[in-house]
A and B are shown apart, each in its own frame.
Chain A
Amino acid sequence: MRLLLAACLLGLACAGTAAASEERPTAAELESELVCPVCDSTLDTSNAEIARRMKVRIRERIAAGATKSEIKAEFVEQFGERVLAEPPKRGFDLLAWVLPLVGGALALVAVATVARGWRRAGAAAEARPTDVPLDPGLERRLDDELDRYE
């Protein structure tokens, strides 16, 4: 019950932070979510002239009261969707989000399958009788060979 309550509180806190970020974005977070169209690195790591102008524009739009979505939409309208550091979750770009999950799921299935195979092989080896009597003829031959070496 306590765990459930904690999870609910954490969820509410995260939702509140996301809403605040949408309504009152900071320049720093937008600079890390937008890419310089010339050098293909995020604005916060770029010193290109166009990146510098984009940073100025972000600050102007924040000061004017624009939301994060509005600012991003304006940049996408000017520079295209490649200006977004994260690909949008729709169309062909959705693959960028789905493929890692599918790959992870396939890897889990592969590991589980191999582990099950190993477990079965181990169980089969344990079940195999180890004290099976030798064929009397073979045992006699073995004794003879050993006697010869003594």
Chain B
Amino acid sequence: MTGRLRLGAQAVAVTAVVLLLGLLVWKVAFGGDNEVTGALASGETPAAPAFTLERLDGEGELALDSLRGKAVVLNFWASWCGPCREEMPLLQEGWERWQDRDVVFVGVDVKDFRGDARDFLEEYGVTYPNVYDGKGSTVGRYGVTGFPETYFIDRDGDVVFRIAGPVLEEHELDEGIERALARV
């Protein structure tokens, strides 16, 4: 009887270890984090993960898919982030230069208070669409490693370029947009 019990306990322990190992392998293989950043690093142009998020600059929601057919400059930022303040005037100025040429700028405010984010947009006179992602649901899927970070998406919805850190030079921004527009 004791032998049978011991065998049962060993079977339970082995099963538990196998299950935990399986969970670890699944998480590593299909966890989904860094899918965009990883693919870009290996020279691919991955599909931009879809999202539908509440707008900060008005009522309702904005779906990334609804912008298909235009190049998208997707900027992840937060009002508490110092470097985001540095780049915001350049982004707004870039939006004013590019908005009539099939280009849309979208800001994604991450892990922030809505009120602080709205104050920030008002302070910098930002007029392009901004959405709110307080829970950071997009961060892992895009592989955002810090704030700010900017992704350039072509007309087909594929990510073609990424700038980690603030965009401080006009030519950096223009290069990303031109790359996104060049892909048909």
Contact = CB atoms under 8 A, between A and B. Distances in A.
Contact of B9 (A38, A48, A49, A113): A113
Contacts of B114: 78
Interface string A114-140: 001100100000000000000000000
Given A57-B113, A113-B9, A117-B2, A49 B135 contact: no
B128 interface: no
Nearest to A121: B2
Contacts, number: 37
Contacts of A120: 2
Interface in A19-74: 37-38, 48-50, 53, 57
How many B residues touch the partner, as a band? 10 to 19
Residue with the highest number of chain B CB atoms closer than 10 Å, among A38, A82, A113: A38
Interface string B98-140: 0000000000000111101000000000000000001111000
A79 B116 CA distance: 13
A57 B9 CA distance: 51
Interface of B: 2, 5-6, 9, 12, 78, 80-82, 111-114, 116, 134-137
Given A53-B80, A79-B111, A110-B9, 17 more contacts: A37-B111, A38-B111, A49-B82, A50-B112, A53-B113, A53-B116, A57-B113, A78-B113, A78-B114, A78-B134, A79-B134, A79-B135, A79-B136, A113-B2, A113-B5, A113-B6, A116-B2
